[in-house]
Amino acid sequence: QVQLKESGGGSVQAGGSLRLSCVASGDNYSPYCMGWFRQAFGNEREAVASIFTGGGNTYIADSVKGRFSISQDSAKNTLYLQMNNLKPDDTAVYYCAADTAFGDCHSSSLYINYWGQGTQVTVSS
């Protein structure tokens, strides 16, 4: 059983920063990649950032490029999302995601086979 547990969400004013963390646990857990998705009210879930666990190559969505960064600490099985210069449009539930089958953590949520429970990020103007 694989579990992904997020933390670090909250409420901030525009221009502020937050860092999300996701701790992974489980037997024989060996994902090809991990990433962050977000879902705002009434919208589809969209990829924000992802990272290949082996090589470290990253993907950052155009909407957050230059403001968000993704990193991992393999020794701690922890994934991070550093979010700077937050905007009201970044308000959403952010989900940690992992893929152990397709090697794609950003093209579609359909490729994700493990999800965290989500953490709310609210940015006020």
Rounded mean pLDDT of 93-119?
Answer: 92
Is residue 110 pLDDT above 90, yes or no?
Answer: no
Please, what's the b/e burial string for 42-54 (b: 16 or more CB within 10 A of its CB; e: otherwise)? eeebebbbbbbbe
Is residue 28 pLDDT above 90, yes or no?
Answer: no
- Per the DSSP assignment, residues forming a β-bridge with 59 are 50
User: In 10 A of CB 18, how many CB atoms?
Assistant: 20
Q: Predicted confidence band at 29 (pLDDT cuts at 50, 70, 90)? A: confident
Q: Where are the beta strands (DSSP E) in the chain?
A: 3-7, 10-13, 18-25, 33-39, 46-52, 58-60, 68-73, 78-83, 92-99, 114-115, 119-124
pLDDT digits (tens, 9 = 90+) for 68-97: 999 999 899 999 999 999 999 999 999 999
pLDDT digits (tens, 9 = 90+) for 31-69: 999 999 999 999 999 999 999 988 779 999 999 999 999
For the chain, give me the number of helices (H) and strands (E)?
Answer: 0, 11
